[in-house]
Amino acid sequence: MADIIVSILVSGLVLGSLYALMASGLSMVWTTLGIFNFAHGVSMTVGAYVAYEIAQRLGPDLWVGYSILLALVVMAAVGAAFEYLLIRPFYGRDDMVLVTIMTTLAGLTFLENGVLTIWGPRLKQLEPLIPGNISYGLVNISRQELIIVLVAPVILLALFLVLNHTQIGRAIRAVGQNQKSAQLIGIPVTRMFLVSFGLAAALAGLAGMLLAGVRLMTPTMGADPLMKALIVVIFGGLGSIGGSIGAAYVIGFLEAILIFTVGIYWTPSMLFLLMVLVLLFRPQGLFGAKNPSSL
């Protein structure tokens, strides 16, 4: 019994960390730009494949961590380009929320099929950062999963510090709170959009690269995490990055528990049911502010 509880805790932590990396970027883009980025899941896929490609080019002798670092830079550029091509032209339109849902969905289709065209449907795997497993008492975890569990809070703390204590972070939040005032005091609003999209894509990409060391990569690997991130941001309230991160761990543990109790097949339905219940009673999310934004 104890070993089951421990393994539920471990897998919940791993899932929660991944979802937190995903959901924080999704939520940041929403708070800054008021855009829901459906291509966020595919950023994860692209990140994993870019890291894979770089690792292939650099050869097997070099530690995979360098490839991941390089891939993160590429992903930031991909995110910025995405904003420039698919979001910026529609800025200021009345129906911007709806239009950008469609453009990001189109971006999702484009990138997913682009990955399929370039790398093919064959399953691929990225070298884990550190191979091997760790057993300590009842805990049995691969080193890569341990890295995921440890890296996620560090990255999220860094994100928190950047958003709250640096000039650029405060500028991003200012744009999210009141775009016109931000513009008036001289914050380059459009550049902040570019930055937050780039940052979000890099965060999702990182989640993908870390996951690719544990599971096999496929062109559709981002679909399920996007779905989970979607449930997470509904639980946490879209407007709150902190709420999303908290909700990510809650959902991670819930999923781990559900998989052990009702089985893998019924887990998505149960999560969906929970999401519906949350929406019925607290439309602003579990940790969301009392007064949700009008959209």
Partner 1 sequence: MINRPLAIAAALLLLLLLPLVLQGPYIRHLFILAFLFAIVAASWDLTLGLTGLFNFGHIAFFGLGVYTAGILTTQAGVDPWLVIPIAGIVAALAAFVVAAPTLRLRGIYVVLVTFAFSQLCLQVVMSQGDLTGGAGGIVRVPSLRISDYNFARDQRLGYYYVSLVLSLACIAALVAIARSPLGKTARAVRDNPEYAAARGIDQMRIRLTMLVISAIPTGIAGALYCIYFRVAAPEVFSFSTSTLILTMLLVGGAGSIVGPAVAAVGIVMISEYLEQFPDLKATKHMLLAVGIILVLRFFPGGLAQISANLFARSAKTVGATPERAP
Among the listed residues 70, 227, 257, 286, the single contact to partner 1 using CB under 8 A? 227
Kindly state whether residue 99 participates in binding partner 1, applying the rule CB under 8 A.
yes
Helices (H), the chain: 2-33, 40-58, 64-82, 96-119, 143-165, 167-177, 179-184, 189-211, 223-236, 241-261, 267-281
Residue (of 227, 225, 228, 223) closest to 210 by Cα position: 225
Q: Which stretch binds partner 1 (CB under 8 A): 48-56, 150-158, 254-262, 273-281?
A: 273-281
- In the complex with partner 1, the residue whose CB is nearer, 169 or 176, is 176
Q: Tell me the closest approach of the beta carbon of residue 144 to partner 1, in angstroms.
A: 26
Contact 230, 68 (CB under 8 A): no
Chain residues 9-38 in contact with partner 1, contact rule CB under 8 A: 30, 36
Kindly state whether residue 217 participates in binding partner 1, applying the rule CB under 8 A.
no
Amino acid 294 reads S
What is the token pair recorded at 75?
A: 């992903």
DSSP structural state of residue 124: B
Binding map of partner 1 across residues 100-129, x = CB under 8 A, - = no contact: -xxx-xxxxxx-xxx-xx------------
- In the complex with partner 1, the residue whose CB is nearer, 43 or 67, is 43
- Packing angle between helix 223-236 and helix 2-33, nearest 10 degrees? 80
What residues pair up with 139 in beta bridges, in sequence order? 136
Q: Which stretch binds partner 1 (CB under 8 A): 1-9, 125-133, 167-175, 268-276?
A: 268-276
3-state secondary structure of 217: strand
Q: Which residues fall within 8 angstroms of residue 202, CB to CB, at 6 or more apart?
A: 47, 72, 75, 76, 79
> How many amino acids of this chain bind partner 1 (CB under 8 A)?
43
**For 217, phi and psi rounded to 5 degrees?**
-90, 135
Q: Which stretch binds partner 1 (CB under 8 A): 69-77, 96-104, 161-169, 186-194?
A: 96-104
- In the complex with partner 1, the residue whose CB is nearer, 3 or 224, is 224
Q: Which stretch binds partner 1 (CB under 8 A): 9-17, 64-72, 242-250, 275-283?
A: 275-283
- In the complex with partner 1, the residue whose CB is nearer, 86 or 248, is 86
Kindly state whether residue 149 participates in binding partner 1, applying the rule CB under 8 A.
no
What is the token pair recorded at 137?
A: 């008492």
DSSP structural state of residue 83: I
What is the token pair recorded at 45?
A: 């896929």
Q: Tell me the closest approach of the beta carbon of residue 81 to partner 1, in angstroms.
A: 13
The footprint of partner 1 (CB under 8 A) covers 30, 36, 85-86, 89-90, 97-99, 101-103, 105-110, 112-114, 116-117, 223, 227, 230-231, 233-234, 238, 264-266, 268-269, 272, 275-276, 279-280, 283, 294-295
